[in-house]
Amino acid sequence: MVEFLVFLCVIFPVLAGGAAFLDRSNALKKRLVTVTGGVLTLASIALALRGGGSIPFSSALAGAMSTPIHVLDLALLCLIAYIGWRRSHRLILTLAAVQLAGMFVLGSYLHPEVAAEAPAFTVDSLSLTLVLVVSIIGSLIAYYAIGYMAEHERHLHLVRTKQPRFFAIILVFLGAMNGLAMADNLSWIYFFWEVTTLCSYLLIAHDDTEIANTNAERALWMNMAGGVAFVLALLWLQSVQGTLSLTALQAMARSGAKEAAFLLPVVALCIAGFTKSAQAPFQSWLCGAMVAPTPVSALLHSSTMVKAGVYLVLRLAPLSLGTTVSTMIAVCGAFTFLVMAALAAGQSNGKKILAYSTISNLGLIIACAGINTPAAIAAGMLLLVFHAISKGLLFLCVGAIEQKIGSRDIEDMRGLFQVMPKTALVTAFGIVSMMLPPFGMLLAKWMALESSVEASAMPVLVVTLALGSALTVLFWGRWAGILIGSLNPRLELAPETQEATMGFAVRSLTIGAAVISFFAPLLYLWLVEPAVQAMFADVSSLSFNGWYGGVGNRYGIFAVYPLYLLIALGFWYAWNETKKHAVSGPELPYMSGVQAAQNGTIGFIGPMKGFVEAKGGNYYLDAFFGEGRLIRPTNYIALALFVMLLGGVLQ
C-alpha cells in the first residue's frame, strides 16, 4: 500500500505531465491538472495518516530501480550539457560535464548499492511535511495557473499556445519534488534534485524573451554549481564512508563519527542546499526568476524549488550536531535572514519584496538547522509549512493585481480596495498572516528566536535574528498600510469577478492559512514532534509550560486560541470606528494648508494659487537598503562565511 501511494505521489504526476505535453489541442489541460492535484492531495494525506515514524520502501524494488535511475541521471545531465552548448553558455556546459564525469565514476567504479537495511525511499514525518506542502499547495498553484496562463497568453498575443509544455513541466516538477522529499539514498535525491533544476530553467525561460532567457541561464548555472558540490559529496561518501544512505549516515553520526572526513561531504551537501534555496551569495537567480509568469514564481518561491534546499539542510542537521560546522550553518542562515530582510525593506516592487522576504525566511530555517536543538528544528519545520501557505497566497494575489492594474509596484496599490476589493482584502490577510499573532509564521519565528537565545553561545546570532525580525515588520507593515490605509468604508466598492480556477486557489490558500494556524498544535503533535524525536535522544526542550494542567504541558500552545477572538474584536472595533469618521467625496481629514478639491481629486492650494494634488508615498531608504548599496558587500561577506564554514570541518 505504501509503495502504491509513493507511486501516486512521484510517478503519477510525471505520467500526467506526459499526457499534458501530448495534448496539443489544450483540451484536456484542466482535467489533467485537476485530477493530478486531487490524486496528489489524497495520496499525500493518506501517507501522512499512516504516520508513526519511518515507513521503509521495498528494498527489492529500490535495488532494481538503481540502474535505470543512474541511466536517467546521465541522460538528464547530457540534456543540460546540450542546453549549454546550444545557448553558447560555456559555464553551463562545463558544470554539466564535471557532473557527468563524476556520476560516470560513481556508477562505473564505486558501484553504490542500495542496502536492504537502508532502502532508497523512507517516508517519515520530515519528508511527509514537504510532501504535503508540495502536493497540496503545489497542486493549488497549478490549478490557479489554468486561468492565469490563458490571460497571460492573451496579453502576449500569442498565435500558438505554449500551455501544453508549460503544464507538462509543472506536473513533472511536482513529482520530482515528492521523489526528492522521500528518497533516502543520496544518489536518488541528486537525480530528483537535477530534475527540479532543469524544470526551473524551462519555466523561467517560458516566455522566451531575452530577459527571461538570461535569468533562466543564471538560475541554471548557479544551481548546477550546487550540483557539482552535490556530486563531490556523493563521490567522497561512497569512497570513504561506503554508503549513500542518509539513514546509515545518521547512524554513523550517532555513534560519534564527526571527524573531518565525515563532515566535509556534509558541508558540500549544505552548500548545494544553499544554492537551491538562493542563500547569499546565490540570491540573484531567485530574484531574476521574477520575470517568469506568476505561477512559476509561486512554485519556485513557496512550495517547491527553494524548499528543497532547506529540506536537505534540515535533513542533514543530525550529521553536524555539536560541531563548529553546525554553528557556522546557523551564522550563514542568520546573515542571509538579516540582509535579505533589509533588501526587501528597500523595495517597492511587490514581486521583489516577496522574493527577498522568501530568501530571508529560508535563511531563518537554515539558521534553525544550524542551531540544531529540538526546539530549533521544530521551528524550522513549522516555518517551512506556514511560509509556503502564506507566501504562495501572496504571490497569487500579486499576479492577479498585476493583470488588473498593469503594475506590481505597491505604491500603485493605493485605493486597490475600490478596484479589487476581494483581492485587496485577501492580500492584506496574507500580509497579516506573515507577521501578526496568532498566525503560524509569528509563532514559529518566536520559537526560533527563543531557541537561539537558549542554545546559542554567540550573542551576535541572537541580535542578528532579532534585527531581521524587526525589518520584516517594517516592509510587511508598509505594504499592509498602503492597502488598508486607503480604504474608505463609505465609498461603494466595485464588484470583482475572478476566473474560477484562480478564485478557487486563492480562497483555498486563504482558508488554509487560517485553519492550519488554528490547528498548529495538532500539526506540531502530528508531524513535527515525531520528526524531532527521530533526530534527538532528548526532546525535553520541546515541552511547553501549559495553562491546562491536567491535559499535559505540551498542549500549552493551545493558549494561542483566545488571541483569535481578541484580534477579531479589534478588527471589528477598528472597522466600525472607521465607518463613523470616514467621509466621502471631497471632504477629507485636515492635511494642513488650504485644502481643495478639483474634479473629485483632493489636494490643496499651492504657489500662485495653483491646485496641487495631494499624494502620499513611503520612504524606501535606498541609501541604506538599496540593492546598489547592499548586494556587493553581502556577496563578499557570504563568501567569507563559506570559507569559515569549510574551516569548521577542521575544528
Element (H, E) at 195: helix 186-204
Span 12-40, mean pLDDT? 91
The answer on pLDDT for 364 being more than 60 is: yes
The pLDDT value given to residue 549: 32
The three-state secondary structure class of 487 is coil
Span 8-25, mean pLDDT? 92
388 touches 303 (CB < 8 A): yes
Residue 302 DSSP one-character state = I
Residues 6+ apart with CB under 8 A from 636: none
pLDDT digits (tens, 9 = 90+) for 181-220: 999 889 999 999 999 999 999 999 999 999 999 999 999 9
pLDDT averaged over every residue in the chain:
85
The answer on pLDDT for 355 being more than 60 is: yes
Span 316-341, mean pLDDT? 94
The three-state secondary structure class of 603 is strand
The pLDDT value given to residue 317: 94
CA dist., res. 111 & res. 104, Å (int) = 10
Span 22-27, mean pLDDT? 82
CA dist., res. 156 & res. 403, Å (int) = 12
**Choice among 197-206, 298-307, 379-388 with the minimum mean pLDDT:** 298-307
The answer on pLDDT for 612 being more than 80 is: no
Query: Confidence class of residue 554 from pLDDT cuts 50, 70 and 90?
Result: very low
- Is beta strand 611-613 parallel, antiparallel or unpaired with respect to 55-56? unpaired
Cα torsion 64, 67, 70, 71: sign: negative
Span 317-336, mean pLDDT? 93
Query: Confidence class of residue 442 from pLDDT cuts 50, 70 and 90?
Result: confident
Q: Name the residue among 177, 290, 303, 282 with its Cα closest to residue 224.
A: 282
The answer on pLDDT for 65 being more than 90 is: no
CA dist., res. 230 & res. 240, Å (int) = 15
Q: Name the residue among 369, 510, 359 with its Cα closest to residue 428.
A: 510
The three-state secondary structure class of 123 is strand
Span 84-90, mean pLDDT? 94
Angle between helices 90-105 and 210-236 (to 10 degrees): 30
Instruction: Tell me the one-letter amino acid at 477.
Output: G
CA dist., res. 541 & res. 525, Å (int) = 15
Span 473-477, mean pLDDT? 92
Beta bridge partners of 596: 603
Query: Confidence class of residue 506 from pLDDT cuts 50, 70 and 90?
Result: very high
Query: Confidence class of residue 92 from pLDDT cuts 50, 70 and 90?
Result: very high
Higher-pLDDT residue of 611 and 314 is 314
Cα torsion 514, 515, 518, 521: sign: negative
Which range, 21-25, 110-114, 328-332, 492-496, has the best average confidence (pLDDT)?
A: 328-332
Residue 632: Cβ within 10 Å count: 11
The answer on pLDDT for 552 being more than 50 is: no
Residues 6+ apart with CB under 8 A from 305: 173, 177, 196, 200, 276, 299
The answer on pLDDT for 322 being more than 50 is: yes
- All three cell numbers of 107, joined, read 556508477
- All three cell numbers of 89, joined, read 553558455
CA dist., res. 146 & res. 151, Å (int) = 9
The pLDDT value given to residue 560: 58
Tell me the pTM. 0.92
Higher-pLDDT residue of 649 and 195 is 195
The pLDDT value given to residue 497: 80
The answer on pLDDT for 584 being more than 60 is: no
Q: Name the residue among 391, 399, 465, 485 with its Cα closest to residue 431.
A: 391
Which range, 157-171, 334-348, 480-494, 554-568, has the best average confidence (pLDDT)?
A: 334-348
CA dist., res. 361 & res. 122, Å (int) = 27
